[in-house]
Structure 1
Amino acid sequence: MIVYIGNKLQKHGYSPTTIDTLSEKLKSKDLKIIAVSSQKNKILRIFEMLSTIFQYRKTARKILIDTYSTTNFWYAVSCGQLSRMLGLPYVFIFHGGNLPERFEKTSFLIKRIFSNSELNIVPSLYLFNQLSKFKLGTLKVIPNSIDLDQYKFKKREMFKPNLLWVRSFSEVYNPKLAVEVLGKMLKFYPDSRLCMVGAEKDGSLENLRTYCEENNLPVVFKGHLSKSHWIDLSEEYDIFINTSRIDNTPVSVLEAMALGMVIVTTNVGGIPYILKHNKNAILVNSDDALEMAEAIEYLLENQEVTNKIAHKARLEAEKYDWENVKAEWMKLLS
C-alpha cells in the first residue's frame, strides 16, 4: 500500500493537481493507493493528512508527498517529519518553479527533513539543477506525463488569430498579459479572439473580467473545465499562449503541443528545457505583451513555418506519454 499526500481538491472545482491524476494512474490490482486530502478547510486537511499517515503506519510501504512552495510546503514538512518519526520511507514530489526561492529562506532543520527522505522526485532538469545546490538528498527526474491517446493531433490548414489560454487564474501565471496581447492583436487583426480556461485562485479572474468590460475586449471566460471539455474546445483555437512569470513543466502546455496548436510562451523557469525557440515553439520574455503579439503575428504571416513548429511540438509531446513515464514510477514503488 502507498499513502499519497497532497491537495486533492478537484471535486471542489479547483484545477486537478498531480495527486488527482497520478494517484489514479498508479492504482492497479497489485498496488493500492490511499490519496488524501480532499478537505477544503486547511486545518481539517492537514489533520487528515497526518492522521492517515499514522493510521497506516504499519501497512504503508511508502509515503508520497506532493510539495509546492505555497502553504502546501508546510503540509509537506509536517507529513515528512511525522513519517520520519514513525520510521516510514517517504518520498517528496517537488512541483513549482518558485521552490528554489522557498528553499533559500528555509532553515537547516527543515531542509534536513528533505535530505532524510528516501528520494526526492523532480519533474524537470530545470528543477533538478535549481534544487541540487540545497543538498536535499537524492534527486531523481520523473517528468510530468499525459495520456497521449486522449489528444488527437489536428493538422490546421490555416492558423488564425484564435488564442487559447489554459491555467489557474493566479498572478504567478500572469493572466492579464494574455488580455494585453489580445488588445495589441486587435489593432492589426480585428477578428482576433481569446478564450481563457481555468479556475479562480487569488481574485485575478474577477479583476480581469472588469478590465475586459472597461476596455471592450472580446474575451470568453470558460471557468474550470474538465479535461475532455477543454480538449474539445481546443478544436476552435489555433494558438496557445502561456504567460507565466514562474513555471516548471506545465501539463497544459504539453497538452496543447499534443493537440497541434502552435505555442507562444514566456521563456521562464523550466520552459526552455522542454521547448526550443523557433523549433517547436516561440519563446518570448516575461511580461512583454508587445513581443508576444509580434511573435503571434510572425506565425500568422509565415504559415509554412508555423505548421512545422506545430508538428515538431507534437513529436516532443510524445516523449511525455504516460506509457513512457510509467516504468519509472513502477520501479520506484515496487
Structure 2
Amino acid sequence: MKKINLVIGTGINESGGIATVLSVFENEKFFKNQNIKLIRTHTHDHTFWGAKRFIIFLMALIKLLFCTLFYQVGVVHIHLSSRGSFTRKSVIIRMCKWMSLRTVLHLHGSEFVEFYEKESSLNKQKRIRSVFSNCDRVVVLSQSWKRWVDGIVDDPRKVVVIYNTVSRVKLIKDNVEPRSILFLGRLGKRKGVYDLISACEMIKEKVPDFKLILAGDGDIDAFRKIAKEKRVIDNIEFTGWVSGQDKLDLLARAQIYTLPSYNEGFPMGILEAMSVGMPIVGSRVGGIPEAVESGKEGLLVEAGDISGLASALISLLSNPEMSYELGMQAKKKFDENFSPEVIMPKFEELYSCVINKE
C-alpha cells in the first residue's frame, strides 16, 4: 500500500490563521515532500443555510475512512482551534483513535483558554482534556501556550512548541510612506482596533500627518463611525480584507506594523512584517513577546493600554532611524528563528518521531 500522511483542516483558500498556515505548508512544498493529502473539513461559505458546511464535513469523514482503507497512513496532522473547530476535530480524533492512527493535534485558537475556562461545562472540559490526551503529539505556537496546555494533558512530554512561519517574499522597501502604520487582520475588539483608533487621537496631536492603514474585514462601517467621532477619519485608510499582491504592496508601503491584541497565538501578520524588516508595536499577549523583544525588534505595551500604545507609535513615527534599526533587528530575528528553513525541518522531525513512536 502507498504510504501517505494526512492533514486535516480548513481549505487553503479560506481566510483565517489555519488556512494561512496550510498555504505556507503548500508553498514550502511540505505537502509534496511528506506525501500529504489535505482533507478539508470546513468552509466559511453559508450557502444553503449551512448545508454546504455539513456536506464538506461529512465528506471529510468519508475521505478519512477511504484513506485508511486504501493507503498506509503514517500521521494524521489535525489543525484545531476553538468552538466549532474543536467540535468537528474531536469527532475526527475519536475516529483516528478507533482506527489506531497516529495523530498530531496542532492548536491554533488564540481564544482557546477562554473557550475552555469560560464557555465549556465541566463535562465539556473533561472531553477537551480527553481529546488532547488521546493524541500522540500536541503542537502549540509558543512557550506560554505550552505552559497552559501542559496542565490539561495526561503527559506534558507530548506537548511541543513549533512556531509559525511565513514564506519568504521578494520585497524592496525603497518607497516607504513616512509616518505610516499598518494593521492586518479582522477589525474587532480582540485585535485591539478600538484601542488603536482611540490612540490615534493622541498620535494626531504629536504627528498630525500620520496614516493608519486598517487592512481587514469586520464591521468596517462601525469603525469608520468611531473614527469620525474621534476626528481621525482623515488619518485612517480602510482597505477591507487584502491578500496576495495587495497585501505585499501594503507591507512594502508602511513604516510600522502594529497588533495591539488582547489574545493571540503566534500571529502570522507579525511574522510577515518581520520578514520584510518592519518594526513591530504590539501587546504582551500570547506568543508576541517570544517574537518581539521590546526595544530590540519593536515596542511592546500591555493589552488595553491606549496611552502606552500611542506613545510607542509616536516614538517610532517621530524617529525613523530607530524605526529602521528595530526593523532590521526584526528581519534578523525572523531569518534566524522563524524562517521556513528553520521551522519546516521541525515538522519533518515531528512526523518521523510520531511514525517511529519515539
1:196, CA displacement in angstroms?
Answer: 1.1
Tell me how far apart the structure 2 counterparts of residues 258 and 314 of structure 1 sit (CA, whole Å).
5
User: Could you say what secondary structure the match of 2:68 adopts?
Assistant: coil
The structure-2 alpha-carbon separation of the partners of 1:100 and 1:297, relative to structure 1 and needing over 3 Å to count, comes to: same
User: Could you say what secondary structure the match of 1:100 adopts?
Assistant: helix
- Contact 1:165/1:178, CA 8 A, preserved across alignment: no
Select 2:7's aligned residue among 4, 9, 28.
4
1:14, CA displacement in angstroms?
Answer: 5.8
1:187, CA displacement in angstroms?
Answer: 2.0
Q: Which residue of 1 aligns with 2:68?
A: 57
Provide the identity percentage: 20
Q: Which residue of 1 aligns with 2:107?
A: 94
Matched, 1:31 2:19: no
Letter in 1 for 2:194: K
- Contact 1:91/1:121, CA 8 A, preserved across alignment: yes
Tell me how far apart the structure 2 counterparts of residues 270 and 29 of structure 1 sit (CA, whole Å).
28
- Contact 1:264/1:282, CA 8 A, preserved across alignment: yes
Tell me how far apart the structure 2 counterparts of residues 14 and 223 of structure 1 sit (CA, whole Å).
14
User: Could you say what secondary structure the match of 1:173 adopts?
Assistant: coil
Matched, 1:320 2:320: no
Tell me how far apart the structure 2 counterparts of residues 69 and 86 of structure 1 sit (CA, whole Å).
24
The structure-2 alpha-carbon separation of the partners of 1:159 and 1:300, relative to structure 1 and needing over 3 Å to count, comes to: farther
- Contact 2:188/2:194, CA 8 A, preserved across alignment: no
The structure-2 alpha-carbon separation of the partners of 1:252 and 1:234, relative to structure 1 and needing over 3 Å to count, comes to: same
Tell me how far apart the structure 2 counterparts of residues 322 and 81 of structure 1 sit (CA, whole Å).
31
Select 2:166's aligned residue among 146, 163, 172.
146
Q: Which residue of 1 aligns with 2:222?
A: 207
In the comparison of the two structures, how many residue pairs are matched? 328
1:128, CA displacement in angstroms?
Answer: 1.1
What are the superposed Cα offsets for residues 124-176 of structure 1, whole Å, 9 maximum, x if unpaired? Answer: 2121122111125411122111223x1536378x9832111011224321222
Q: Which residue of 2 aligns with 1:330?
A: 348
The structure-2 alpha-carbon separation of the partners of 1:326 and 1:140, relative to structure 1 and needing over 3 Å to count, comes to: same
1:92, CA displacement in angstroms?
Answer: 0.6
The structure-2 alpha-carbon separation of the partners of 1:139 and 1:30, relative to structure 1 and needing over 3 Å to count, comes to: closer
Select 1:131's aligned residue among 149, 163, 188.
149
Q: Residues 48-197 of structure 1: matches in 2 within 5 Å?
A: 48-58=59-69, 59=71, 60-104=73-117, 105=120, 106-137=124-155, 138-148=158-168, 150-152=169-171, 154=173, 160-197=178-215
Q: Which residue of 2 aligns with 1:227?
A: 244
- Contact 1:23/1:35, CA 8 A, preserved across alignment: no
Question: In angstroms, what is the RMSD of aligned CA positions?
Answer: 2.4
What are the superposed Cα offsets for residues 255-308 of structure 1, whole Å, 9 maximum, x if unpaired? Answer: 111222221111112211221111111001112222111112222344433332
The structure-2 alpha-carbon separation of the partners of 1:136 and 1:270, relative to structure 1 and needing over 3 Å to count, comes to: farther
- Contact 1:240/1:261, CA 8 A, preserved across alignment: yes
Task: Structure 2: state its 5+ residue gaps.
Answer: 353-358
Tell me how far apart the structure 2 counterparts of residues 70 and 207 of structure 1 sit (CA, whole Å).
26
TM, length-normalised to structure 2: 0.83
The structure-2 alpha-carbon separation of the partners of 1:307 and 1:122, relative to structure 1 and needing over 3 Å to count, comes to: same
Tell me how far apart the structure 2 counterparts of residues 169 and 315 of structure 1 sit (CA, whole Å).
29
Tell me how far apart the structure 2 counterparts of residues 222 and 68 of structure 1 sit (CA, whole Å).
27
User: Could you say what secondary structure the match of 1:143 adopts?
Assistant: coil
User: Could you say what secondary structure the match of 1:61 adopts?
Assistant: strand
1:9, CA displacement in angstroms?
Answer: 6.2
What are the superposed Cα offsets for residues 208-227 of structure 1, whole Å, 9 maximum, x if unpaired? Answer: 13323444412212122223
The structure-2 alpha-carbon separation of the partners of 1:38 and 1:283, relative to structure 1 and needing over 3 Å to count, comes to: same
Letter in 2 for 1:90: T
Query: Greater shift after overlay, 263-272 or 97-106?
Result: 97-106
Letter in 2 for 1:67: L
